[in-house]
A and B are shown apart, each in its own frame.
Chain A
Amino acid sequence: MKKIIILCSFFFCGIIFSQTENEVRFKSGVELYNKGDYNEAINLFVKIINNGEHSDELYFNLGNCYYKLNDIPNSIYYFEKALKLNPNDKDILNNLTYSQNMLIDKIDQLPSNQLSDFINYISMFFSIKQWLVLGIVFLYFFLILFVIYFFKKDSNAKKNYFILSSTFFCLTIIFILTGVTKFENQKSNIQAIIFEKKIDFRTEPNYRSEIQFNLHEGTKVNIIDELDDWVSVELSNGASGWMESKSIKKID
């Protein structure tokens, strides 16, 4: 019994210690960045990720380090990862624009319809988890209000509580659905960054097929399908084709 307690306390201490260790790494990484030692800063930041912890700030800092080292694909990759955790951060969007200015490929955006634009715009406000938590909070509100409604004897108050609780119920459903659709979208819409200097964009997943055009490092693509060592990707201008999966890195 005593042994177990000691073991447990060690384990607990270990968790606390490792947490602080990662924070120390983060701090010293920031210092190294400020001194201009970007490679060492990257080492420290990556160690934190390998230790099983992350945050949008961490990815943002990694993106900055790689930008300073002129590593376009890595900087875009980490900025996109940071955006995934925190989709509306002004700093991330700002620095991502800097990285994107270094891209060789320029891909036009397909004109999208306004409704889906609007829905996208709304769903961008929060992350999936935030949407779900919001939905759950509203669900609790709804339940409380509903109980109040149920036990209220006064018919006038009952009416008000009913209206209030039903609006909360609707909002709950909307929020949770937004979260779920966003999650499903992201699951079916895996994005990746090209890491090779120059990549052939082929019509079929083999070397015999025709090369449609070339893409260059740092360009973001959407993965539609996978077959052996090949992935079918779509560009933002609607063009699609196959490329080798070894030359891209998925943003997950």
Chain B
Amino acid sequence: MKLRFYIFLFFAITIISNVNAQDDTISFEAVLSKKSLGINENLRVDFKMNKDGDNFTPPSFNGFTVVGGPNQSVSNMWVNGKRTFSKSYTYFLTPIKKGPLTIGQATIEIDENIYKTLPVKISVSESVAVSKDPNDPTYVVNENLHLVAEISNTNPYLNEGISIVYKLFYSPQINVTNVGEIETPEFENFWSQNIKIPRLQIERGSFKGDNYNFVTWKKTVLYPQKSGKLDILPLSLDVSVDVPTNRRDFFGNRIYNQVSKKVTAGKRSINVKALPVNAPESFNGAVGKFDIKLNTNKTELNASESLQATVKVSGKGNLKLFSPPSVQVPSSLEKYDPEYNEKVSTSLTGMKGFISNTYTLVPQFQGKYPVSSVEFTFFNPQLNKYETINSDDLIINVLEGPLSSDNNINITNTQKSQNILPSINQFKFIKTNSDLVKINSNPFIYSLSFYLILIFPVLAILLLFIFFKSKNITNSKLKESRSRRANKLAKKYLSDARKNLENKDVFYIALEKALHNFLKSKLFIETSDYSKEKISRLLYSKDIEKESLELFIKLIENCEFARFTPASDVEINNDYENAVKVITKMDKEI
């Protein structure tokens, strides 16, 4: 019994292992759609395996460009209890050059073994004329499937918006089942924005006179950023198409052939015109048609409150590609950095909406503040010229606050002392009265009258001095000569007196005359007014020693007395001596 069981087990195992062994023949191969092809044809390569593996590495397709793939497909089938597994990687290739080409080895790791495909040789020949056979599905597809790029304007200005629309045309004969994008154009040197197509819609249109269905595949708005010839790289689509054949199925319906086709919208170039050179200064790159508005949320406020000023540029054009012009305000208004705001919608016709900058302004002092109008220049491509527009001027009235930083102190002072009206810092009313004077073009300074006024009095006074001086000189000369004569006379009479020492009367007369002439010469006393009192007063004022003064007076008295009284010789001699002494002494003193 036991033995039988073992025999059964042995058979069973051998059968199973046999089955297993049969299943285990692993195949990994490259399958080509054709061995020879024209250079304008496509080649499909499938790397097929019958067991799942890892680390698939495709060969480097030297001499080919990969236009599609790798597409992976896996199929698992159970037929009569037999499992058939197949997995394939599919590539679509286009040859680059003619001649024999080789597709190299692809590798894969299955159950820790590495499998390789055999290299396959392919010959690429001259481009094959597309077969005109209407039954050939490739021909049918070529004739009935077109990808077209529609460009709104191939000769735009710099920064002028253009649109590019890719439309896939196909004739009603065929059915498009699947579309995939192989190559997406990159719009170099353009500012681009895709317009989203929410759902592909089949529309009816005509293409080269025939009725076609079309699908708008892609819509893009472009703003060229560089002038000159700019290329737009093509868009390539991989389209799966069902092509009807002449065969019909059991129920009489047409049988469709599925064909995959790569369609490309040819390379397009756009010639971008530069903007005219005579751009005004305020031009900042805006192209289109715009309007500008400047407004504030209030026009009257108190100092140190804030207000918002908004510059808004609205219209159509390259709104996102420039910033609104800045606002210029007096320096005594504090201006903060603006807040940017935009509401731009992009359609095929370009950008539309507005952009705005909102500034926060805080006035410091009272007064009026002009927010000068904002100048904005844009290029209007329709009219081919620059247009400059201005916003309205705005005036902000600051009602209360200090007038300037200096007066700040003033205000606080007055507020401290008393609550007087803050009228000190009002804008003053005009003056109602005026003393109008001639506008003299010649200034007073350096004028003739200036010099005259300056010099005349000086001259006058100088003349006066000269006049006085000369008068003085003549006066003093007269005096001097007079005194000299008097002096001489005094000496003469004195010597006369000496001669007549014996003759008393003559002596005294001569002595008196001598004394009087001495006084005349020294004190400028006229002969008429002798009186003892006057002489004594005059002499007193001359600071003469009392002794000699008294002596002098005595002598004069003696002279007067001597006329009436007798005098001795001694007295006469004495008087003469005294007279000589007094005269010499007083001569020194005066």
**Which of A's residues lie within 8 Å of B, judged by CB?**
19, 22-23, 26-27, 30, 33, 48-49, 52-55, 57-58, 60-61, 64-65, 67, 70, 72, 91, 94-95, 97-98, 101-106, 128-129, 132, 136, 139-140, 143, 146-147, 150, 176, 179-180, 183, 197, 216
Contact = CB atoms under 8 A, between A and B. Distances in A.
B332 A106 contact: yes
B370 interface: yes
B434 A104 contact: no
B369 A101 contact: yes
Contact of B427 (A23, A70, A95, A146): A95
Given A101-B332, A139-B457, 11 more contacts: A26-B436, A52-B438, A52-B439, A54-B437, A57-B430, A64-B430, A70-B393, A101-B367, A102-B369, A132-B450, A183-B446
Nearest to B431: A57
Contact of A106 (B331, B368, B404, B432): B331
A57 B307 CA distance: 36
B454 interface: yes
Nearest to A129: B444
Contact of A102 (B367, B403, B443, B458): B367
Contacts of A33: 430
Given A54-B437, A57-B431, A70-B370, A101 B443 contact: no
Question: What secondary structure prevails in chain B residues at the interface with A?
Answer: loop
Question: What secondary structure prevails in chain A residues at the interface with B?
Answer: helix
A136 B447 CA distance: 14
A94 B428 contact: yes
Nearest to A70: B370
Contact of B445 (A52, A98, A183): A183
A131 B555 CA distance: 68
A143 B575 CA distance: 56
A52 B437 CA distance: 8
Interface residues of B, number: 42
B443 A98 contact: no
A67 B453 contact: no
Interface string B314-332: 0000000000000011111
B439 A49 contact: yes
A30 B432 contact: yes
Contacts of B461: 143, 146-147
A143 B370 contact: no
Given A61-B431, A104-B328, A97 B458 contact: no
Contacts of A61: 430-431, 434
B177 to A, nearest CB: 66
Contacts of A72: 370
B372 interface: yes
A54 B439 contact: yes
Interface in B528-568: none
Contact of A128 (B430, B444, B453): B444
Contacts of A95: 427-428
B398 to A, nearest CB: 9
Nearest to B464: A147
B10 interface: no
A67 B427 contact: yes
A101 B404 contact: yes
